[in-house]
Amino acid sequence: MEAGFSDYQRDKYTIERVIGSLVGVSGHTFDILYDLLFTTERVIAVIIQHPTDIPYQFTAVWRTILFGNSLAIRREQLERQRIAQTRRQALQERTLDELAAIHPMNFEIRYSAITSVEIMRRLFQSQLRFYVSGPSTKEQIIRFTLPQKQIPEAQRLLELVLLSKTKGK
């Protein structure tokens, strides 16, 4: 069972609290995974897996040549799962502000900055899109790829925190 952000320690000094989370969504590229933490004030994207988590090893090339690619792929998957689980456990002791700042690729999206949000459904993968207004007049789109099984939970969370900004309700 994967650890969820609902288990994370809540910030003791503010009224901000955790509403729910989406675990293991792709951001930027397919091999960068985030856990999205929905609070009463913002979405916090916490990086859980990055391609640089497992450094390239020259010996792995020889192992792949000798024993085949499937064994190497399975070993890498298990190592990535172990790293993600360890990372999630370590983050449970952090406050919400620490979660947003602990890694350079972590970030937050304040609900006040979101102009609209939608789930774009596609045949093989769906996207959660946040349309965010910045200091300039340009609108920025922040995308996360969702597994099909997480769409109902994503819709539930959007209804709880961003109902008035949700496209295609």
Domain span at 47: 5-165
pLDDT digits (tens, 9 = 90+) for 61-87: 555 566 666 666 677 778 778 888 888
Does the pTM of the predicted model rise above 0.85? no
Residue 143 bridge partners (DSSP): 129
Number of domains in the chain: 1
**Which pLDDT tens digit goes with each residue over 97-118?**
898 998 899 999 999 999 999 9
Query: Where residue 152 sits, what CATH number does that domain have?
Result: 2.30.29.30
Q: How far apart are CA 26 and CA 101, in angstroms?
A: 19
Structure tokens at 163: 């109902």
